[in-house]
Amino acid sequence: MDWCRWRKPTSQRALAVLRILGRTNQSLRGMGREWRGLCQDLCNHAKRIATSKDMAKRFRYRVWSPFLKYLNDPEEKFIDYFSGGTVGKIKAKYNPTGNSVFEIVKIYKEKVPRMGTGFMLATPWTMEFIYKNVKSTCLADQHNLLSINKDYKASDQDREIGVVIVAEYPNLASAASWRTPPPGYKNTISYIFSRNLGIIRWAHKDPAIYEEHPEGHLNQRADPNHRVQDAKEVKFRLGKWVAFGLNQKRRATTTSFTGPNRGILNYTASKVEVVANQKLTRTDSGVLEMDASFLFNHEELENPENASKEWTSRFAYLSKTAHFWDMELGRVEIYPLVAKTILEEIENHRNSLSPADKERLKEEAIVVSVVTKVHHKWLQNFHRYPEAGVFFAHRVLEIFYLDGGKPIFKAQALEN
């Protein structure tokens, strides 16, 4: 048996999937018992959200479960009975047919509680919908985003989550800009990036002393009673995800805050607390890097008409403004060298397919996973945000099909 659900997700439901990914029920262990899964039909709700025609065509009448994957429903029992937004319980049997391994043989009409079935929203088409709408989500309500509207009056009551992109950098609010520098003023400061707020200054303070070593910096060989400094010490800050409020600068200055840095100068982070990683972070020669992924879009990287050219001339025509959007990192730049790797690997893969597979897979969504780094011109780029990104794609990690995860390319591990 399998718990199933079909619906065409609204944008709010689709975004909710970002918070429930990875939460699954018990593993499938054998035949003849109950499994939980998600069965959805994209077609019947196609007018409720902006879906592309190719998605509507590819997922028409598809029924899906996280554990059983696509199910065959030859008599359309599930599709005919269950309306959108409901969770249903079915019995399926092993009967490989086409792309399906299991076939629906019976539906159960009793009502299934919603509690514990939220993870079933993560269907292939829901994930594709989310990927395709990350940009519109990031840029929604632009007037009320300090990252974009540098004159926006941000609330000092709200708390945001961001990542420390630079631990020690000259304070943009130089001592010369104050009639009397505020208490504790320092010439260097840390900078936090938040997609909604942009770049926020975090002051350097004299660290407190605690008995317990901060998470992530524990030396396993050290004496457990050894007194160490707090994780907010500057050398521990880079790459930390933090929750913080805003402290608006109200002190009298020799000049009002104007120019591209005015949003940064008007606020500092307050009540900063280290939180769980939203993305895993690491450093390379003192530069922060994180992994991110996006849907392949040929037109973003170049004019597809240039694909027939040899690379000796084609490279010059690759887009200089290519980018993708990420829920935590905002706009991420894709420069021609990385774009060339993506295009080459996907084209090599497609050229290796049989004519039948090439036709079958030509509309399938492809995910590109990259290592991102903080741009060496992060401050200059932020002046033009969202027309330029604080992060850029440094190298390609993996390329694979979103639906099913079939690999296209995987980079070799770098030697330490």
Q: What is the pLDDT of residues 57-77, one digit of tens each?
A: 787 777 888 778 888 888 888
Residue that finishes a domain, picked among 249, 278, 307: 278
> Which residue has better confidence, 22 or 1?
1
As for how many domains the chain has, the answer is: 3
Element (H, E) at 167: strand 160-170
Q: What is the pLDDT of residues 95-148, one digit of tens each?
A: 888 778 888 888 888 777 777 777 776 778 888 888 999 999 999 988 999 999
Q: What is the pLDDT of residues 72-103, one digit of tens each?
A: 888 888 778 876 556 677 888 888 887 788 88
Residues 157 and 231 in one domain: yes
Q: Match 């995860």 to its residue by tokens.
A: 405
CATH code of the domain covering residue 209: 2.40.50.140
Examine residue 135 and state whether it is found in any structural domain, yes or no: no
**Interatomic CA distance for residues 396 and 394, integer angstroms:** 7
Residues 156 and 272 in one domain: yes
Phi, psi of 267 (to 5 degrees): -135, 150
Helices 124-132 and 11-20, interaxial angle, to 10°?
110
**Interatomic CA distance for residues 27 and 34, integer angstroms:** 11
**Token output for 238:** 């880079």
Examine residue 130 and state whether it is found in any structural domain, yes or no: no
Element (H, E) at 379: helix 378-383
pLDDT at residue 98, as a whole number: 78
Residues 320 and 400 in one domain: yes
Element (H, E) at 300: helix 298-301
Residues 236 and 287 in one domain: no
Backbone dihedral region of 402: left (phi > 0), alpha (psi from -120 to 50 degrees) or beta? alpha
**Interatomic CA distance for residues 265 and 355, integer angstroms:** 58
Residues 20 and 45 in one domain: yes
Segments forming the whole domain that contains residue 150: 142-278
pLDDT at residue 219, as a whole number: 46
E strand residue ranges, 285-406: 287-295, 323-326, 330-333, 366-374, 391-401
pTM of the complete model: 0.80
Examine residue 129 and state whether it is found in any structural domain, yes or no: no
